[in-house]
Structure 1
Amino acid sequence: MDEDRKTLLLIKGVIADMPPAEAAKVQACAAVLRRAVLDAGDHGVVALALIGAEAQAMELQR
Protein backbone atom coordinates (compact mmCIF):
# COMPACT_ATOMS: atom_id res chain seq x y z
CA MET A 1 0.00 0.00 0.00
CA ASP A 2 1.44 3.37 -0.97
CA GLU A 3 1.61 6.43 1.29
CA ASP A 4 -1.29 8.18 -0.44
CA ARG A 5 -3.59 5.21 0.19
CA LYS A 6 -2.42 5.04 3.83
CA THR A 7 -3.18 8.74 4.29
CA LEU A 8 -6.63 8.33 2.76
CA LEU A 9 -7.44 5.40 5.05
CA LEU A 10 -6.16 7.31 8.09
CA ILE A 11 -8.39 10.30 7.31
CA LYS A 12 -11.39 8.05 6.67
CA GLY A 13 -10.73 6.42 10.05
CA VAL A 14 -10.69 9.80 11.79
CA ILE A 15 -14.03 10.65 10.17
CA ALA A 16 -15.50 7.26 11.11
CA ASP A 17 -14.57 7.92 14.75
CA MET A 18 -16.41 11.25 14.80
CA PRO A 19 -19.91 11.59 16.18
CA PRO A 20 -22.37 11.00 13.31
CA ALA A 21 -23.46 14.64 13.08
CA GLU A 22 -19.85 15.83 12.80
CA ALA A 23 -18.99 13.15 10.24
CA ALA A 24 -22.03 14.21 8.19
CA LYS A 25 -20.79 17.81 8.18
CA VAL A 26 -17.37 16.67 6.95
CA GLN A 27 -18.95 14.52 4.22
CA ALA A 28 -21.19 17.40 3.12
CA CYS A 29 -18.24 19.77 2.95
CA ALA A 30 -16.22 17.19 1.00
CA ALA A 31 -19.07 16.83 -1.50
CA VAL A 32 -19.11 20.59 -2.08
CA LEU A 33 -15.34 20.68 -2.52
CA ARG A 34 -15.38 17.70 -4.91
CA ARG A 35 -18.02 19.39 -7.06
CA ALA A 36 -16.07 22.67 -7.12
CA VAL A 37 -12.84 20.87 -8.07
CA LEU A 38 -14.55 18.88 -10.82
CA ASP A 39 -16.26 22.00 -12.17
CA ALA A 40 -12.96 23.91 -12.28
CA GLY A 41 -10.98 21.07 -13.87
CA ASP A 42 -7.20 21.29 -13.67
CA HIS A 43 -7.41 24.68 -11.99
CA GLY A 44 -9.59 23.17 -9.28
CA VAL A 45 -7.04 20.46 -8.54
CA VAL A 46 -4.27 23.03 -8.16
CA ALA A 47 -6.50 25.24 -6.00
CA LEU A 48 -7.35 22.32 -3.73
CA ALA A 49 -3.65 21.46 -3.41
CA LEU A 50 -2.98 25.09 -2.47
CA ILE A 51 -5.67 25.03 0.22
CA GLY A 52 -4.35 21.74 1.59
CA ALA A 53 -0.81 23.11 1.78
CA GLU A 54 -2.06 26.29 3.47
CA ALA A 55 -3.98 24.24 6.04
CA GLN A 56 -0.95 22.06 6.74
CA ALA A 57 1.34 25.09 7.10
CA MET A 58 -1.05 26.68 9.60
CA GLU A 59 -1.07 23.43 11.61
CA LEU A 60 2.71 23.38 11.66
CA GLN A 61 2.80 26.94 13.02
CA ARG A 62 0.60 26.13 16.06
Structure 2
Amino acid sequence: MPGKREVEVKLSVRPTDVLLEKHHENKAAGWYEENREAIDALNEFVEENGSFSDFHRSF
Protein backbone atom coordinates (compact mmCIF):
# COMPACT_ATOMS: atom_id res chain seq x y z
CA MET A 1 0.00 0.00 0.00
CA PRO A 2 1.70 3.27 -1.06
CA GLY A 3 2.41 5.77 1.69
CA LYS A 4 1.90 3.20 4.43
CA ARG A 5 4.30 3.58 7.34
CA GLU A 6 5.37 0.53 9.28
CA VAL A 7 6.43 0.69 12.90
CA GLU A 8 8.17 -2.16 14.66
CA VAL A 9 6.52 -2.68 18.03
CA LYS A 10 8.03 -4.68 20.88
CA LEU A 11 5.23 -6.45 22.72
CA SER A 12 7.16 -6.44 26.00
CA VAL A 13 7.22 -2.63 26.03
CA ARG A 14 4.33 -0.41 27.05
CA PRO A 15 2.63 1.32 24.10
CA THR A 16 3.30 4.75 25.58
CA ASP A 17 7.02 3.96 25.73
CA VAL A 18 6.99 2.99 22.05
CA LEU A 19 5.15 6.19 21.13
CA LEU A 20 7.58 8.31 23.16
CA GLU A 21 10.56 6.62 21.52
CA LYS A 22 9.15 7.23 18.04
CA HIS A 23 8.31 10.83 18.97
CA HIS A 24 11.90 11.44 20.09
CA GLU A 25 13.27 9.84 16.91
CA ASN A 26 11.02 12.04 14.75
CA LYS A 27 11.88 15.15 16.77
CA ALA A 28 15.62 14.45 16.42
CA ALA A 29 15.28 13.87 12.68
CA GLY A 30 13.30 17.10 12.33
CA TRP A 31 15.90 19.03 14.33
CA TYR A 32 18.68 17.68 12.11
CA GLU A 33 16.79 18.67 8.96
CA GLU A 34 16.15 22.18 10.34
CA ASN A 35 19.82 22.61 11.21
CA ARG A 36 21.49 20.67 8.39
CA GLU A 37 22.82 23.80 6.65
CA ALA A 38 24.45 25.10 9.85
CA ILE A 39 25.87 21.67 10.71
CA ASP A 40 27.36 21.33 7.23
CA ALA A 41 28.86 24.83 7.45
CA LEU A 42 30.42 24.07 10.85
CA ASN A 43 31.80 20.75 9.62
CA GLU A 44 33.33 22.49 6.60
CA PHE A 45 34.87 25.17 8.84
CA VAL A 46 36.41 22.53 11.13
CA GLU A 47 37.82 20.61 8.16
CA GLU A 48 39.47 23.77 6.81
CA ASN A 49 40.54 25.42 10.09
CA GLY A 50 40.49 22.80 12.80
CA SER A 51 38.38 22.72 15.92
CA PHE A 52 37.70 25.80 18.03
CA SER A 53 39.45 24.13 20.97
CA ASP A 54 42.60 23.00 19.12
CA PHE A 55 44.66 25.79 20.70
CA HIS A 56 43.86 24.41 24.19
CA ARG A 57 45.39 21.03 23.49
CA SER A 58 48.80 20.35 24.98
CA PHE A 59 49.43 17.10 23.09
Q: TM-score, normalised by structure 1?
A: 0.42
Q: Which structure has more helix as a fraction of its residues? A: 1
Kindly name which structure, 1 or 2, has the bigger radius of gyration based on alpha carbons.
Answer: 2
